[in-house]
Amino acid sequence: MDSTVRIGREKLEQFCTNVFLQLGLPEQEAIDSSKILVAADARGIGSHGVGRLWRYANGIRKGIMLGTATPQILRDTPISLVLDAQGAMGMGISKKTMEQVISRAKTIGASFASIRNSNHFGIAGFYTELAAHEDMIGICMTNTAALGVPTFGRTAMFGTNPIAISVPATKGRMFTLDMATTCVTRGKVEVYAREGKRLPQGWAVDTTGKGTADATRLLDDMLYQRGGGMLPLGGEGELLGGHKGYGLAVLVDILTAVTSGGDFGKSVMDSEATSARVCHFFGAIKLEVFRDPQEFKKDMGRLLDELVATEVADGCDRVYYAGLKEHEAEAESNRSGVPLTEKVVESLRKIAQESGVSFIL
Amino acid sequence: MDSTVRIGREKLEQFCTNVFLQLGLPEQEAIDSSKILVAADARGIGSHGVGRLWRYANGIRKGIMLGTATPQILRDTPISLVLDAQGAMGMGISKKTMEQVISRAKTIGASFASIRNSNHFGIAGFYTELAAHEDMIGICMTNTAALGVPTFGRTAMFGTNPIAISVPATKGRMFTLDMATTCVTRGKVEVYAREGKRLPQGWAVDTTGKGTADATRLLDDMLYQRGGGMLPLGGEGELLGGHKGYGLAVLVDILTAVTSGGDFGKSVMDSEATSARVCHFFGAIKLEVFRDPQEFKKDMGRLLDELVATEVADGCDRVYYAGLKEHEAEAESNRSGVPLTEKVVESLRKIAQESGVSFIL
């Protein structure tokens, strides 16, 4: 295992901003993109954090992701907005769009948006929490490159397709569910492959559509598109509900890509030359359309209190609610610095050298 | 296994309507409630069909469910509606509320409603399809009596809490995801107990919070609230994503009960004297707020076509999409009659005798 160091949050944000500025991003987009990447690391979701900075740097240098693309407006109504990102980086346009959704919801009570032709946007829960801070229910989804196999199938037809929802409670607390609709992501399989461990039953199937424990072979089959892939939440077949996770993954394709006229299913593909053009969905509903927001948040607080007070299973420590672990990790990051593995720090040092940005970490 | 007979759909609906009328329901509510119950059997979801008629009959006779309750309006805005059902039967008020949601969404683009103090409302997918027939995305959820155990816990803190979403496609097809957020429902455990079979790993935990295969003991522990219960989608712990199913179950409690100020979590309880007062959520979003509805449905059709054309796993027959099995079953029921087990027919005969309604099946 990599050892971990902690780096001050603002310093890390400033470094990423400097890199993005040097790559030609407009100032606000550079700042927003950095904040979103660092938020992932701060919450303990390193898979979506600054460890991806080199991908963005490469993407921008190769012209796969565009720092300065002007989005095309496809539909614009008091309750909705549909955009073509024209290949923009995902973070800046997503934050702006969620801010638009929140602003429209303030007037009309609820609002929705979708974006096509975009790129990876970091953690979905970042956008939903923007809404929750405004006393709204925030919703966000994105499709991703196909790697998930439908129930009873043997080839990849959808991505990890995460769903995020945030709902605010009293005392600044928040319920934030941010979950891939596949059982696990490819990143977890890569860890198992590196450590030579067998995959748990229910994570993935091989090229015949049967459950596999062979991480290395699975990654190879996925890379060369020979078939096989990750299973939806609920695992193989219907016995443990795999058809439900499959349905949720398809729902994400519908709300992100069918609403925006973008790519869905197996046509969302990474290749050596390009990264997949993905679609996003954003929504916000004011608490006030249902109840007095203070009463609403009081009941939310009571619900969260009751959940953490659940009697604990033998051998376990605590019962959580969605988002609690991440919020505790973030509080610790704000006190003690954002945790990064040595390997990620090394990649940042390399980016600094390549782009002529001073390595201030 | 019970043998199955098929009964004409209209005849079955008429019989149930006669029973509800005899129990004192207003005519439209009697008709609506019958249609919704029979729709479940027609789609092959017998657990939510006319096999429950005796529960409604008992509920109404005992005054636990009220046939003629007048709902109280808690909030009424152009985009939302919140009701207290005052103990009404769930089906009639739910259908009327979804019709209100659809009507408001026609004007404003989207609309949402929640209801507290209601009773079992049949299949959630019935309501979402009402919206999909109007070129809208339909959403419906309900909380139910607590029987599900949070990740790392040992006592029941949420119900089977289903989520349903329908989206229309070309050629009258429809994506309808209608799923309990627990791995399976209590009904499945009852079948395993009757057949003396061991439960699959991932369905349930015992009173210590550890996985159990003992169906009979589990049902007994649940009945006497000794602890243990059903696992969320994703099973025990976090390895297969149980925390995701747990998050989805809590989300349903939030959208149904926190929005309406109703009961949530462990306080939603059946007892011998009463059935749990539950809360519902309804939503509709017009396709048109995103795209031309015909273009939208064309892409939906393409998505559904691609999914059923997925290469099939060895030893499996077909790949489905959410709702396809149920829609095929319904088409067969419309041709050949609605399938009922002999046991259910017997229960209907008994209801006919008790209530003085002629048994026309």
pLDDT values of chain B reduced to their tens digit, one per residue, 361 residues: 579 999 999 999 999 999 999 999 999 999 999 999 999 999 999 999 999 999 999 999 888 888 778 999 999 999 999 999 999 999 999 999 999 999 999 999 999 999 999 999 999 999 999 999 999 999 999 999 999 999 999 999 999 999 999 999 999 999 999 999 999 999 999 999 999 999 999 999 999 999 999 999 999 999 999 999 999 999 999 999 999 999 999 999 999 999 999 999 999 988 766 778 999 999 999 999 999 999 999 999 999 999 999 999 999 999 999 999 999 999 999 999 999 999 999 999 999 999 999 998 8
For A309-342, the pLDDT digits (tens) are 999 999 999 999 999 999 999 999 999 999 999 9
Element (DSSP H or E) covering residue B24? none
Which domains, and CATH codes, for chain A?
1-61+337-361 (1.10.1530.10)
Chain B interface, best mutation among A112, A319, A321, by max B CB count within 10 A = A319
What pLDDT shows up at residue A272?
Answer: 66
For A59-96, the pLDDT digits (tens) are 998 888 887 789 999 999 999 999 999 999 999 999 99
Rounded Cα gap, residues A275 and B290, in angstroms: 25
CA distance B350 to chain A (A): 34
- Is the distance from CB of A278 to CB of A119 less than 8 angstroms? yes
B226 touches chain A (CB under 8 A): no
Q: Which residues of chain A make contact with B155, given a CB cutoff of 8 A?
A: 310-311
Rounded Cα gap, residues B197 and B184, in angstroms: 15
Query: Left (φ > 0), alpha (ψ -120 to 50) or beta: where does A339 sit?
Result: beta
Rounded Cα gap, residues A176 and A180, in angstroms: 13
CA distance A107 to chain B (A): 11
Complex prediction ipTM: 0.98
What pLDDT shows up at residue A249?
Answer: 98
Contact between A82 and B235 using a beta-carbon 8 Å cutoff: no
Query: Between the CA atoms of A81, A82, A87 and A90, what dihedral angle is there, to the nearest 10 degrees?
Result: 50
Query: What residues 31-50 of chain A have any CB closer than 8 A to a CB of chain B?
Result: none
Query: What residues 178-197 of chain B have any CB closer than 8 A to a CB of chain A?
Result: 179-180, 183-184
Place of tokens 């012209």: A63
Q: Which residues of chain A make contact with B290, given a CB cutoff of 8 A?
A: 75, 80, 82, 112, 114, 259-260
pTM score, two decimals?
0.98
- Is the distance from CB of A7 to CB of A337 less than 8 angstroms? yes
A293 touches chain B (CB under 8 A): no
Q: Residue B138 pairs with which residues in a beta bridge?
A: B166, B284
CB pairs under 8 A between A and B: 259
Query: Which chain B residue's Cα is nearest to A178?
Result: B244
Tokens of B76: 């009424």
Average pLDDT, chain A: 96
Q: Three-class SS of residue A163?
A: strand
Q: Which residues of chain A make contact with B314, given a CB cutoff of 8 A?
A: 154, 208-210
Query: What residues 67-106 of chain B have any CB closer than 8 A to a CB of chain A?
Result: 74-75, 77-80, 82
For A247-281, the pLDDT digits (tens) are 999 999 999 999 999 999 999 988 766 778 999 99
What pLDDT shows up at residue B108?
Answer: 98
Helices (H) and strands (E) counted in chain A, each on its own, are 11, 11
